[in-house]
Amino acid sequence: MPEKHNKSLPSYSSSYWREADTEKRFRPLEEDIEVDTAVVGGGIAGILTTYYLCLEGKKTVLIEGSSLLDGTTGFTTAKVTPQHDVMYDQLINNRGEEAAGLYYKAQVEAMAEIKELIHDLNIDCEHKAQNAVLHAGTEEGKKQLEKEKKAYDKLKIGSEFTSDSELPFQTKASLTMKNAFHFHPVKFLKPVINEIERLGGLIFENSTAVNISGGEPVQVKLRNDCTVTCEHAVMATHFPFDDIRGFYFSRLHPERSYTIAVKTNKEVPEGMFLGIDNPAFSLRHTEINGEKIALIGGEGHKTGKSSNTLAHYQNLADFTDKHFGIDKILYRWSSQDLKAPDNVPLIGPAITGRGNILTASGFKKWGMSNGMAAARLITDYIAGRSNSYAELFDPRRSHLQGEDIKNLAKEIMDDGKQFVASNVRGKEAEIDNLSIDEGAIVNINGKKAGAYRDSNGELHLVDPTCTHMKCGVEWNNAERTWDCPCHGSRFSIDGEVVEGPASTPLDKVNNDK
């Protein structure tokens, strides 16, 4: 009998890319060390920065709080293009044509560097040339794309504007940028990790950095009290873990988005598509065991501000089934991204007057090319070379204008509202009424606790106060985590840090009666 279609979502979140990460694990750092440079964060920005610094002859250590590639890099859609949503028109208006042109050029050069690295290291990472396509299904969206096309023309960006697309639903306009590509991010970075080792670089996993102190040299302190002494420290931790001095907690907007990998009845078209209407959906494909598999993404929202995160996956599934037909949903996964007020990443010296502490953050869902751009810029900075994009990405920039200022003010006000709302909750759930695989805020002996009942019926209890800045966390039923709605920290059912800026676990709670 033919196999029945299975349109149900997988029970647990799992990234297809991460299945390729079968290499050896690295031990934790359990002693004090001295190096030239400490890079904290094992995603694409941290790995590539470490690699290029090793090529410079710098004694470099790469430190990761969990496992390499276990953050956003391992849960991306891995579309590599300078077409980062609708942004060039706004960038011209807010920062001028020169800055907008530099941003485009930085992405093009980063893409070329990725392809050069693939060639030099003979990396088999399923690299495939694709067109990048923005599309709109509304008149308002069409007007946005018309303005974006004019911005492309000002910047001499090659593009094609049409009134339709290859998608199986009506579009009123599409804007195509050629010479983009997609690839397998884990397969791309695994050989780079091997090269770091060959070049003498040090790598440690399960080693959480919590603080940076000192002047020259700098001391990076780990949670286990070990210290890395270095000339330069790089925070490539997605959200800078030492975020107070640079006020990064008020400058970075954390957002979650969702992806499903689907075997479809109708073949998805070639290309990388992104809708600009609301809700917006993203589409690319990959091949699994020789079959073309659709990667459908979208449903973004601020971290900690969705009462039913599983519903976002279901919405993606409904969209896919309507337009392509679902044979089987193979994987589902989500990721977290950060956005600066002006939509330009923060790359370079993290703090005014402290040029030996650097950061790379705010890639706003486009971390593949921006991760490479960050690695090259930071390497140039540490090596004492000039870089054409240093001013554009400088984290210390203070020239926010117009909508950028409004975005910053909105973020600060929203954080304040979330702090109050998350600490003044309504009625808590009854702990005895929690079902299997259910999490909720409960009351234990007159105090709030975050409770989750696992498949064996065992309760996992934590203090629901985020260890970053004391906001109350919210239950994420899709990923089975506790998420902070203020600055995006995330914690496991037992309180361990899953996502920063928090670096300290949630306290555990006893259910003693």
User: What's the mean pLDDT in 338-342?
Assistant: 92
Is 92 inside a domain boundary? no
337 domain-assigned: no
242 pLDDT above the threshold of 80: no
CATH of the domain at 228: 3.50.50.60
In a domain, 455, yes or no: yes
- pLDDT beyond 80 at 16: yes
Greatest mean pLDDT among 180-194, 237-251, 347-361: 180-194
Q: Check whether residue 393 and residue 406 sit in a common domain.
A: no
500 and 358 assigned to the same domain? no
DSSP class of 138: S
> Quick one: pLDDT at residue 493?
96
386 class by beta-carbon count within 10 Å (0-12 exposed, 13-18 middle, 19+ buried) = exposed
Share of the chain above pLDDT 90, in %: 80
Residue 196's pLDDT is 98
The pLDDT tens digits of the residues spanning 90-130 come to: 999 999 999 999 999 999 999 999 999 999 999 999 999 99
Residue 230 · residue 269 · CB < 8 Å: no
* Helix (H), strand (E), coil (C) string for 185-213: HHHHHHHHHHHHHHCCCEEECCCCEEEEE
Under DSSP, is residue 473 helix (H, G, I), strand (E, B) or coil? Answer: coil
**Do 439 and 483 fall within a single domain?**
yes
Q: What average pLDDT does range 156-183 have in this prediction?
A: 94
- DSSP state string for 313-329: HHHHHHHHHHHT-EEEE
Q: Using CA atoms, how far apart are residues 5 and 52, in angstroms rounded to an integer?
A: 47
Token pair, residue 35, equals 């190096």
- Tens digits of per-residue pLDDT, 434-443? 999 999 999 8
Last residue of a domain, one of 352, 374, 399: 399
The two three-digit tokens of residue 202, written as one number = 């040090």
H/E element holding 54? helix 44-55
What is the average pLDDT across 260-277?
96
> Which pLDDT score is estimated for 413?
57
* Non-local CB neighbours of 98 within 8 Å, separated by 6+ positions: none
* Model pLDDT, residue 158: 96
Domain boundary among 368, 399, 430: 399
Query: Please, which pLDDT band fits residue 164 given cuts at 50, 70 and 90?
Result: confident
Q: What is the pLDDT of residues 195-224, one digit of tens each?
A: 999 999 999 999 999 999 988 899 999 999
- pLDDT-above-70 percentage for the chain: 92
Does the residue 491 lie in any domain? yes
506 lies in the same domain as 361: no
pLDDT digits (tens, 9 = 90+) for 482-510: 999 999 999 999 999 999 899 899 999 98
Q: What is the pLDDT of residues 341-392, one digit of tens each?
A: 899 999 999 988 788 999 999 999 999 999 999 999 999 999 999 999 999 9
Give per-residue pLDDT as tens, 317-328: 999 999 999 999
Give yes or no: residues 240 and 359 share one domain.
Answer: yes
Chain mean pLDDT for the chain: 91
Give the per-residue pLDDT at 332. 98
Asked, for residue 313, whether it belongs to a domain, the answer is no
H or E stretch covering 303: none
Cα R_g (the chain), whole angstroms: 23
Indicate if 507 and 415 belong to the same structural domain: yes
Q: Is residue 461 part of a domain?
A: yes
Check whether residue 493 and residue 372 sit in a common domain. Answer: no
Last residue of a domain, one of 399, 431, 465: 399
- 57/201 same-domain check: yes
Task: Check residue 217 and give its pLDDT.
Answer: 95
Lowest-pLDDT choice from 8-12, 28-32, 405-409, 454-458: 405-409
Whether 417 and 488 share a structural domain? yes
The torsion angles phi and psi of 262, rounded to 5 degrees, stand at: -130, 135
Q: Identify whether 89 is part of a domain.
A: no
Over residues 163-169, mean pLDDT = 88
Same domain, 452 and 492: yes
* CATH number (domain holding residue 414): 2.102.10.10
pLDDT at residue 420 is higher than 80: no
Which pLDDT belongs to residue 244? 63
- 249/79 Cα distance (integer angstroms): 27
Q: Are residues 483 and 353 in the same domain?
A: no
Residue 41 has pLDDT above 70, yes or no: yes
How many domains does the chain divide into? Answer: 2
CB 240 within 8 A of CB 276: no
- Give the largest Cα separation in the chain, rounded: 71
Report if residue 60 sits inside a domain.
Answer: yes
pTM score of the predicted model: 0.92
Range of the structural domain that residue 56 is part of: 33-76+186-251+343-399
Reply yes or no on whether the pLDDT at 428 is more than 90.
no
> How many CA atoms lie less than 13 Å away from 163 in the CB half-sphere?
1
252 vs 403, which has greater pLDDT?
252
Residue 407 predicted with pLDDT over 80: no
Confidence (pLDDT) at 165: 85
| Average of per-residue pLDDT across 448-472 | 94
Q: Do residue 455 and residue 506 come from a single domain?
A: yes
Instruction: Please determine, for residue 170, whether its predicted confidence score (pLDDT) is greater than 80.
Output: yes
